[in-house]
Structure 1
Amino acid sequence: MTVAVVLVSAGKGARLGASVPKAVVSVAGKTLLELSLMHISEFKPDQLIVVAPEGLTAEFERLTSKFFLDFKVVTGGSTRQKSVAAGMKEVTSDFVLVHDAARAFTPKEVFDRVKGALEWADCVVPTIKLSDTVKQVNDHWVDKTVDRNQLRLVQTPQGFRVSTLRDGLSRAIADFTDEAGLLESIGVPTAVVDGHEHGFKVTTPSDLERARAIFADVRSGIGVDAHQFSESGTLMLGCLEWPEYRLLSGHSDGDAVAHAIVDALLAAASLGDIGSNFGTDRPEYQGASGELFLREALRLLSDAGFEPANVSVQVVADEPKIGPRRLEIEQHLSLIIGAPVSVLATTTDGLGFLADSRGIAAVATSLVRMRG
């Protein structure tokens, strides 16, 4: 059995409200097209045809080449049915799975189930059961409650014997929302297999929000820093001045809180640490402020496609007392970082060099997420 996949991705996404075609909208740093191709590559079809919007075939070829060496990109039509027909012209396999790029999270197991059912059926669709009660309505009144046990929500990929689908497309006298519906109209029976909850279709802004909430690329990092007090200068901690305390010693301003946060942010995005990015061999950072380090770290984070989601930092010191200025520090750091920052404080209970107020340490954790 040879099986092709026709990936329909020519939709404009009008209901999504995006400024670009739906297939190139991003979730977790990848386009819906790329996410679809990732799952299809795991399935390993004998042939792949990608149906692209007009004018975007070159871009779709570039994106598809990340996952496949042998493939074909064709231009779609004004309707789904016309786009499928365009893709089917290139199919040379015995069987075909027609899939929507808008269902970018459908796992390989669904492709496998549909392919398996094609051994005994010419038309196969994956479905999921309804969890809500279903009412048939007329205007503003309920006609009756429908038995939901007899109903299914249909997903893709939908599988077909190629000759059967081509026959249906050649005989179509109406525009159908899916190919199984077209074949049903000419008397071809449709078999069902289990779909998957991740096979939902991204159609509206709320669908996109759901996808980004479920599949967001969120990473955590941790950073630690400690400095002892110098003989002079004014303490900088949390990017704020503490006039009653001496400066912390270091190549820069010694702001242990800011430095720990920088390390946590960089670690979360696998971008090294404060030393490898702003080390003592960099004279331009001599005496630099903790705020400068934070802003530079945020720039590196953004260049890598990430944004901070949350930061928490624990100050370890006998002095200064953080409590009276906690809210001020949190607000100031949150404004710099562009994400919520929480600040806590503790002592070492008489242990170590921090116990006699010779210095300050800080431990920070961060969450960063890939921009959608």
Structure 2
Amino acid sequence: MSRAVVVVAAGSGTRLGIGTAKAFVPVAGRLMLARALEPLFTLTEPTLVVVVAPADRLDECRQVVASVAGAAVRYTAVVPGGADRHASVQAGLAVLPDPVEVVLVHDAARCLTPAHQFERVFDAVATTGDGVVPALPVVDTVKRVADDVVLETVDRSTLVGVQTPQGFPLAALRSAYAGSSRSETDDAGVLQAAGLTVRHVAGDADAFKITTAWDLARAESIVRARTEPVPARVRIGLGVDVHAFDDAVRCRVGLLDFPGEPGLSGHSDGDAVAHAVCDALLSAGGLGDIGGRFGTADPRYAGATGDVFVRGAVDLLAEAGLVPESVTVQVVGNRPRIGARRGEMQDVLAAVVGAPVAVSGTTTDGLGFTGRGEGLAAIATAVVRPA
């Protein structure tokens, strides 16, 4: 067989706080190591599997491997790990036979990594001849700091979060490890330190690493969601938006233009109704808010119409496996009068949301900024459900 996977399972799991080697911690009733090994015995091509385990648990590890592999026993060995991950990987590489040309190094702590991620990395190494890592874009804002002082915001458009398995031509990785003068944070770092190229392919959200108790709970919830029938439950979200009037811009409310009425000020088109609907949808999906998702000062959204944000919220819900069920929005203000155009507004909003939208209007009897005619407010609720 020309390809292999080295599964590193020798970590102590100190940060997990369970008091045992991490790979032998149960995840929803099944050992983490067993879950990590399962996809390896479903790969399309024969693949050698080497497990690097704690020195005092080698027999237990062999039993786990045998229970997962069944009749398809294709692993070469269970070997003891070293003093750190660097040494453990070297121990795994050392026992691979000569026919192996491509090796993947995988952390057992990423026990929900799907089989297609292994195949994707294998294919990319075979195609490019370089090192390959799976990665996901960084979505959080990243800051560079010194002690407790924030120095600057780092451009996250060029950043990715790296996962495993990481794939390499075996000869190149062995040579890089043999010549390494210090430990790196991952195997790709060892290869790059030797002056070789590493590329990346798309990762998978399920390939996260179990490091803390929170990570373990997350993994268990994912497993149970896949294996236990759960009735579809709706989620409800709330959105509120307020904009002041601005005579210098056109009036756009609920995705409709109202000629002759004062417009609403804002970085985009100021459509308080559309923005409230967007926030309600995001709230229902637990996906944050319009400012966090689209940026209140992002130049890409300068003057953008409200449907851009509503469609964006619907797309984010779809990525989370959710779809809108219904939306209700109330417009609060003296003008523009929406009664005559309520049906039209409901139809155009529903077309973008992909679900029924009910619109109503009210005033505050002269009280507050809306009563004084200084601006417009909108309050929306959204109901979403699993797709």
TM norm structure 1: 0.57
Could you say which residue in structure 2 is the equivalent of 1:75? 80
Could you say which residue in structure 2 is the equivalent of 1:110? 117
1:158-307 alignment, distance < 5 Å? 158-216=166-224, 219=228
Distance 2:223 2:143 in 1: 32
Q: Is the 8 A contact 1:123 1:189 kept in 2?
A: yes
Distance 2:229 2:144 in 1: 48
> CA offsets, 1:161-188, max 9 Å, x none?
0000000110111011211001111211
| Cα distance change on mapping 1:94 and 1:220 into 2, 3 Å | closer
Distance 1:77 1:180 in 2: 19
Distance 1:70 1:121 in 2: 24
Could you say which residue in structure 1 is the equivalent of 2:51? 50
State the Cα distance separating 1:158 from its structure 2 match. 0.3
Distance 2:162 2:228 in 1: 34
> CA offsets, 1:208-256, max 9 Å, x none?
11111222266469xxxxxxxxxxxxxxxxxxxxxxxxxxxxxxxxxxx
Distance 1:65 1:59 in 2: 10
- Does the residue aligned with 2:56 lie in a helix, a strand or coil? coil
Could you say which residue in structure 2 is the equivalent of 1:99? 106
Matched letter for residue 48 of structure 1 = V
State the Cα distance separating 1:203 from its structure 2 match. 0.7
> CA offsets, 1:267-302, max 9 Å, x none?
xxxxxxxxxxxxxxxxxxxxxxxxxxxxxxxxxxxx
Matched letter for residue 194 of structure 1 = A
Could you say which residue in structure 1 is the equivalent of 2:145? 137
| Cα distance change on mapping 1:219 and 1:127 into 2, 3 Å | closer
State the Cα distance separating 1:74 from its structure 2 match. 0.5
Q: Is the 8 A contact 2:47 2:74 kept in 1?
A: no
Could you say which residue in structure 1 is the equivalent of 2:3? 3
| Cα distance change on mapping 1:45 and 1:32 into 2, 3 Å | farther
- Does the residue aligned with 2:5 lie in a helix, a strand or coil? strand
Could you say which residue in structure 2 is the equivalent of 1:356? none
State the Cα distance separating 1:137 from its structure 2 match. 1.1
Distance 2:142 2:80 in 1: 38
Matched letter for residue 90 of structure 2 = A
- Does the residue aligned with 1:128 lie in a helix, a strand or coil? strand
Matched letter for residue 113 of structure 1 = R
Matched letter for residue 7 of structure 1 = V
Determine which structure has greater relative contact order: mean sequence separation of CA pairs < 8 Å that are 6+ residues apart, divided by chain length: 1
Distance 2:40 2:138 in 1: 26
Q: Is the 8 A contact 2:136 2:202 kept in 1?
A: yes
State the Cα distance separating 1:46 from its structure 2 match. 2.2
Distance 1:17 1:147 in 2: 34
- Does the residue aligned with 1:67 lie in a helix, a strand or coil? helix
Q: Is the 8 A contact 1:121 1:190 kept in 2?
A: no
| Cα distance change on mapping 1:63 and 1:110 into 2, 3 Å | same
Q: Is the 8 A contact 1:129 1:153 kept in 2?
A: yes
| Cα distance change on mapping 1:85 and 1:45 into 2, 3 Å | farther
Matched letter for residue 16 of structure 2 = L
Distance 1:86 1:210 in 2: 31
State the Cα distance separating 1:205 from its structure 2 match. 1.1
Q: Is the 8 A contact 2:40 2:47 kept in 1?
A: no
Asked whether 1:88 is paired with 2:88, we answer: no
State the Cα distance separating 1:122 from its structure 2 match. 2.3
| Cα distance change on mapping 1:220 and 1:186 into 2, 3 Å | closer
| Cα distance change on mapping 1:148 and 1:173 into 2, 3 Å | same
- Does the residue aligned with 1:6 lie in a helix, a strand or coil? strand
Distance 1:18 1:24 in 2: 10
State the Cα distance separating 1:2 from its structure 2 match. 1.7
Q: How many residues align?
A: 221
Provide the identity percentage.
41
Could you say which residue in structure 1 is the equivalent of 2:34? 34
> CA offsets, 1:7-40, max 9 Å, x none?
0000010111112100011112111100011111
Matched letter for residue 84 of structure 1 = V
- Does the residue aligned with 2:82 lie in a helix, a strand or coil? coil
State the Cα distance separating 1:45 from its structure 2 match. 4.4
Distance 1:82 1:209 in 2: 30
Could you say which residue in structure 1 is the equivalent of 2:61? 60
Could you say which residue in structure 2 is the equivalent of 1:286? none
- Does the residue aligned with 1:144 lie in a helix, a strand or coil? strand
Q: Is the 8 A contact 2:144 2:151 kept in 1?
A: yes
Q: Is the 8 A contact 2:133 2:198 kept in 1?
A: yes
Q: Is the 8 A contact 2:136 2:204 kept in 1?
A: yes
> CA offsets, 1:68-112, max 9 Å, x none?
223210000110010000000111211100000000001011111
Distance 1:183 1:219 in 2: 42
Q: Is the 8 A contact 2:50 2:92 kept in 1?
A: yes
| Cα distance change on mapping 1:128 and 1:57 into 2, 3 Å | same
State the Cα distance separating 1:204 from its structure 2 match. 1.0
Q: Is the 8 A contact 1:6 1:49 kept in 2?
A: yes
